[in-house]
């Protein structure tokens, strides 16, 4: 058996089409979304992300501005700058580019982004809405994973889901989003591997999601026949970008599997645009 390849392209295109329609509607009502990306110092990998972000916004017709701040800015100065952006009525969405300079408390600073302008869903209030089962502005990657699973048409009710990775913006929110659809969710992490239990958990997953950042951590033979495999990981291996799952062997067992690159990534970008529209609506209702 060879699994269907779940490329993000189709789902991403559909989301972008919906965003375009919604954008036209809110522009007619006088709301003009503007996304501000705050970049502290320079970072080549976040620059790539920034350029893509700008291009996507421009193509869609969403204003995008990058605010470059000096690398030696203090934490309180950065928070003050965020507060300024929170108050600026022309700004409807804020992204704080990571990484921040060493020593800065990322979570503390993210918590100062106004929840209504928090297009990446990293403010504790937005993460809290997921716990309530009422996601408003949830982390883009977590939503992208959910969209991919939905695109298979599989009913989540009672399904055995194994989420490998428990980060605040991927693993934990994905687990919460799926448990609210009554999936049976198990979260694995480094402790699971250290106890030698990862293979055992992965083998019974009807839906497997992996967000770790270790090339080929998940062996192809561990994949349950007919399962859905969503690989969030991005790793460089011998000058190639690969995921956390051994794709070639895994696809022989999976029913559906995402490639890396080209799976989760394109949907994450589309979801960011959708969140930008939601944020613009929320801020204009203030
Ligand atoms: P993270 O780096 O914050 O955390 C890694 C997680 O993996 C932790 O839960 C840790 O306990 C677990 N882990 C580490 N080693 C492990 C092992 N040997 N066995 C089992 N679990 C182990 O995670 P993150 O920020 O969610 O990023 C994970 C990966 O996803 C990275 O490769 C990142 O680049 C990628 N990512 C991709 C997108 C996208 O849009 N495609 C978005 C965000 C992150």
Q: Which atom of ligand 1 is nearest to 193's Cα? A: 19
Residue 278 is assigned to a ligand binding site: no
Look at residues 220, 261, 217 and name the one whose alpha carbon lies nearest to residue 242: 261
Instruction: Return the sign of the alpha-carbon dihedral for residues 243, 94, 96, 107.
Output: negative
Q: What is the pLDDT of residues 4-48, one digit of tens each?
A: 999 999 999 999 999 999 999 999 999 999 999 999 998 887 888
Look at residues 201, 238, 263 and name the one whose alpha carbon lies nearest to residue 3: 263
Rounded to an integer, what distance in angstroms lies between the CA atom of residue 16 and that of residue 60? 8
Ligand 1 centroid vs 117 CA: distance in angstroms?
A: 25
Q: What is the value of pTM for the model shown?
A: 0.97
Higher pLDDT, 70 or 2: 70
Q: What is the pLDDT of residue 1?
A: 63
CA angle at 10 for the pair 148 and 16, rounded to the nearest 5°: 95
List C-alpha distances in Å: 149 to 7, 164, 174: 11, 16, 11
Q: Name the average pLDDT for the chain.
A: 96
Tell me the three state secondary structure of residue 229: strand
Q: Please provide residue 71's backbone torsions phi and psi, each rounded to the nearest 5 degrees.
A: -65, -20
Ligand 1 centroid vs 145 CA: distance in angstroms?
A: 14
Q: How many residues are given for the chain?
A: 286
Confidence of residue 174 (pLDDT cuts 50, 70, 90): very high
Q: What is the pLDDT of residues 94-135, one digit of tens each?
A: 999 999 999 999 999 999 999 999 999 999 999 999 999 999
Give the residue whose CA is nearest to atom 16 of ligand 1: 190
Count of CB atoms situated within 10 Å of the CB of 191: 10
Higher pLDDT, 2 or 234: 234
Give span(s): CATH 3.40.50.10860, the chain: 30-119
- Cβ-in-10-Å burial (0-12, 13-18, 19+) of 218 comes to buried
Residue 2 pLDDT more than 80? no
Rounded to an integer, what distance in angstroms lies between the CA atom of residue 133 and that of residue 269? 23
Residue 90 pLDDT more than 60? yes
Q: What is the pLDDT of residues 37-88, one digit of tens each?
A: 999 998 887 888 899 999 999 999 999 999 999 999 999 999 999 999 999 9
30-119: CATH topology: Rossmann fold (3.40.50)
Ligand 1 centroid vs 202 CA: distance in angstroms?
A: 16
**What CATH homologous superfamily does 139-265 map to?**
NAD(P)-binding Rossmann-like Domain (3.40.50.720)
Give span(s): CATH 3.40.50.720, the chain: 139-265
Rounded to an integer, what distance in angstroms lies between the CA atom of residue 143 and that of residue 174? 7
Name all residues whose Cβ lies below 6 A of ligand 1: 141, 164-167, 170-171, 188-190, 192-193, 198, 211-214, 217, 232-235, 264-265, 268
Ligand 1 centroid vs 211 CA: distance in angstroms?
A: 4
CA angle at 211 for the pair 197 and 44, rounded to the nearest 5°: 140
């Amino acid at each position: 058996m060879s699994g269907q390849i779940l490329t993000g392209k189709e789902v991403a295109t559909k989301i972008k089409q919906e965003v375009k329609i919604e954008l036209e509607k809110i522009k007619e009502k006088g709301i003009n979304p503007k996304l501000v990306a705050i970049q502290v110092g320079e970072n080549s990998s976040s620059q790539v992300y920034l350029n893509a972000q700008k291009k996507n916004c421009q193509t869609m017709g969403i204003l995008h501005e990058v605010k470059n701040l000096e690398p030696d800015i203090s934490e309180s100065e950065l928070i003050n700058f965020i507060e300024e952006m929170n108050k600026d009525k022309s700004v409807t969405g804020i992204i704080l580019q990571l990484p921040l300079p060493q020593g800065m408390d990322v979570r503390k600073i993210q918590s100062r982004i106004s929840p209504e302008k928090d297009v990446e869903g990293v403010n504790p209030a937005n993460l809290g809405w997921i716990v309530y089962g009422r996601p408003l502005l949830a982390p883009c990657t977590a939503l992208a994973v959910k969209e991919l699973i939905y695109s298979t048409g599989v009913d989540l009710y009672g399904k055995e889901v194994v989420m490998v990775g428990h980060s605040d913006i991927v693993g934990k929110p994905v687990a919460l989003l799926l448990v609210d659809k009554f999936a049976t969710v198990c979260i694995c992490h480094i402790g699971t591997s250290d106890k030698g239990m990862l293979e055992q958990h992965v083998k019974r997953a009807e839906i497997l999601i992996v967000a770790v950042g270790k090339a080929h951590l998940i062996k192809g033979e561990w994949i349950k026949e007919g399962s859905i495999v969503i690989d969030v990981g991005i790793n460089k291996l011998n000058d190639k970008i690969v995921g956390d799952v051994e794709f070639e062997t895994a696809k022989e067992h999976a029913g559906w599997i995402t490639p890396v690159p080209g799976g989760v990534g394109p949907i994450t970008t589309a979801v960011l645009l959708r969140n930008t529209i939601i944020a613009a609506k929320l801020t204009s209702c203030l």
